[in-house]
Structure 1
Amino acid sequence: FTHSHSFICFGSRGRGWSQSKPTLQQLWTGYYMFSKFAVVSCVCADEVLEQADYLYSCAETEKLYLLLLQHKDSDDAEFLWRLARASRDMSLLPGMEAKRKEHLTFEAFEYAKRALEKDDKCFAAHKWYAVCLSDIGDYKGVKVKIGNSYRIREHLEKAIELNPKDATSLHILGYWCFAFAELPWYQRKVATMIFSSPPVSTYEEALGFFLKAEEVDPDFYSKNLLMLGKTYMGLKDKQKALFWLTKAKDYRARTLEDKEVHKEAVDLLKKLG
């Protein structure tokens, strides 16, 4: 764009405004060059995003991170939220050194923050900002983590408002509700001492979001099946807990997390007898 813009507005030496009025032919030539460059740039961007989404679907975390890192200075929210997600996924790789993990966690948050600044109508930017904001709370203490919880929920709700069919946002908000529903009484007491009205939720509220996630995308995520089972356990509904935990156990494992879900589901099923 910069090159084409200069072609239209500046003289042949490019040192100032052109003294002569451009001819119609020059204007058309300039427009053609700008249009051609814009289309090529758009196609290239789309190709990179398509490649990024393919690598994500294949769980090629390191390759995805290196690909998107080349676009870390982009002003496009679509690149930035994907880079936030990739940075976070890198931090979660097995054997990641603690200092590197922390660096990647805060790096992910900065990319998510920039994505939101560039486009506050992008549902994925709100979603990953919420997730990354929660992650950095692990390094800043309980007070900050609980204090951030209100903002986390607000951004998840905004993500769902912008895209009601995104099962992941629904699942994460369900997880948020579950975490506060099962908060032990002594932690709740500490939270009340720090905040006059700490975040609260119920198993029923968590259940609603987990079920909605399944409704919009059945069996999209093994962790959602597991959380449905755990939520029904919290509600003392053994039969439904058994049903969902069995589905989680039988889910075909594609990732390390799926394998962890399988193990936890098996352990819970044994506990339920």
Structure 2
Amino acid sequence: MTTDSTDGRARGDDAHEAAAMPPSYPPRSAPGPERAQQGSVGGRTATSRGGWFRETLTVMVSALILSVLIKTFLAQAFYIPSGSMENTLELGDRVMVNKLAPGPFELDRGDIVVFVDPGDWLGELPPDTRPAWQRTATQVLTWIGLLPQDAGHHLIKRIIGTGGDTVECCDAQGRLMVNGEPIDEPYLKPGTEPSEMEFSVTVPEDHVWLMGDNRSNSADSRAHLGDPGGGSVPVKNIVGRAFVVLWPADRITLLDNPEKTFAHVPEPSP
């Protein structure tokens, strides 16, 4: 009995002691609420940072690709390096050029176009004395489309005649004639004559006859009558049609075609 009572008392004491000892809280094997919360916040922060970086990188790469595509196929900015198109365009202007003309859009008389030098119009270009890193950075930014194309081997003039047209100077009033029809040119720089030299040319097919608006300061098609094509420029050399002045801000304007100037010009004889 004693043994049983002792055993019973022993069992009773153990139970009392077990009840008196509170369980550890939180359990040592499990992380506490604060630790779990801190770990979760840290994880979300790292994830959000990674997502932000990927999103920013994606946007930047997409913007660069879009800029290159636009510059290559749709439009490109150019810098005006001379006064041959005054007062329509002034030295230092930045213009945007539509590269879909020629192409889906046709070129018309009166359009202002940027074209690649067809051969010695510019002569030998002066050497670029800038540091190599600056030249490289400029080339990269220009290729991307973030900087306007500088002069280089490009020129900008106005189309006066297209393939098959006969352009000549001048009638009794000193006006140019296209296909025998005299034209009034409101875009000429004030005080400038339509031409100070007489000429008569028939523009070959797939060529254009180009002249600057500042006729007394423009080495245009007239200065290259002895060149192949008689001063006319192949259409394939045209980069595109200038349609807006982008900079400086006080000169932002659309470059409209003066359709009235050529409205009465007949089509060339076959």
TM-score by length of structure 1 reads 0.24
TM-score by length of structure 2 reads 0.24
Larger Rg: 2
Greater relative contact order (Cα < 8 A, sep 6+): 2
Comparing both structures, which one devotes a greater share of its residues to strand?
2
Comparing both structures, which one devotes a greater share of its residues to helix?
1
